[in-house]
Amino acid sequence: MSAVTDQRDAPIVQLTNASFGYADRRVVQDASLAVWPGEVVAVLGPNGSGKSTLVRGLLGLTDQLGGRVRLFGEDRGDFEDHARLGYVPQRHTLSASVRATVAEIVAVGRLPHHRWWRPVVRSARDADTIAQALEVVGLSDRFDADVSTLSGGQQRRVLIARALASQPDVLLMDEPTAGVDAANQEVLAEVLARLAARGTTMIIVTHELEALADVVSRILVVRAGRLAFDGTPIEFASRTGELEPHDGHHHDDELAAEPARLPATPAAGPLDPQGRNHG
């Protein structure tokens, strides 16, 4: 699914003393790092530490207040190929007031590949890409289902599929496992493992590191707006007591409660935990 480049001599993301925030308030300060093709990077930190602000800063969703940000070798201000960045926000619930099928939501990911001044006509390539994205996240059998009938965990997977449909070079995800139970965290971890096996580069803000332990290749810890750690999972484990980022709650930038299960929710699909189809 991902169009990951084979060029290992240039990072996908490069920060040099970068600061991000809102108006003139710096939330993240002097961050320097490089993310390379194929890496799966977990971004950890306590509530209010700035971890989500860091990731949103890469997308231009928060103000850059200093330093340098380069995406695929270009300064962020000059970067225009936004389809190469796939974003999955934490606020994952899809409005019940908007009637749309799963396929229609995923098709939104194809819009960057269409000229804005032309009517959007779904091509055979679009249809194939949408079908592949839904297969990766285990929702092929929900193609024509109304998204309002899906559980929170299934909706999360729809949004991952939507991001994949743009065929990005990197996926940036904000708390993909937040608000779902342990069984459904395992389902999401399986989806991410499939993507990692395909060489998809991922930057994942998370509190549930344990659920992603077999997927993550690198860990960043953000504390008080600064990078406190950047290393491998083995290096992190040796310093867990010192760097423990968890505080028992999800970060407070975007907190979406798991929606109640609706009576019309379809039966469990191939990736849904057996006997539980509500995550």
Q: Set out the domains of the chain in order of their start, with CATH numbers.
A: 13-243 (3.40.50.300)
Which residues are CB-neighbours of 125 under 8 A, at least 6 positions away?
none
Dig out the tokens for 38 from the structure.
């194929």
Q: Amino acid identity of 199?
A: G
Task: Answer for the pair 52, 253: CB distance below 8 angstroms, yes or no.
Answer: yes
Res 213: pLDDT: 87
Q: What is the model's pLDDT at position 155? A: 87
Q: How many residues does the chain have?
A: 279
pLDDT at residue number 153: 84
Predicted structure pTM score: 0.79
| pLDDT attached to residue 217 | 95
CB 85 within 8 A of CB 172: yes
What is the rounded distance in angstroms from the CA atom of residue 139 to the CA atom of residue 121?
23
What pLDDT is recorded for position 253?
A: 41
Q: Tell me which H or E stretch contains 106.
A: helix 102-107
Which residue positions in the chain have pLDDT lower than 70? Answer: 1-9, 91-98, 113-122, 240-279
pLDDT of amino acid 231: 94
Cα-Cα end-to-end distance for the chain: 24
